[in-house]
Amino acid sequence: MVLNNGSLPLNILEKLIQDELLNDQEKNKLELLYDDLLIG
């Protein structure tokens, strides 16, 4: 899955981060992307 900056609404990104189906590595990547979106 490729995420461009700002391509997903934050609520969808939050849902992906909280999704228990994601493994730790995927969660870490999404959390970093989410942090970038909040800062940027």
DSSP class per residue in 9-31: -HHHHHHHHH-TTS-HHHHHHHH
Binned at pLDDT 50, 70 and 90, residue 6 comes out as low
Are the CB atoms for 34 and 17 separated by under 8 Å?
yes
Instruction: State how far Cα 3 lies from the chain centre.
Output: 8
The confidence score (pLDDT) of residue 7 equals: 65
Q: Is 30 exposed, middle or buried (0-12, 13-18, 19+ CB in 10 A)?
A: buried
Selected residue with higher pLDDT from 7 and 18: 18
pTM: 0.41
Scanning the structure block, which residue is given the tokens 């909040």?
A: 38
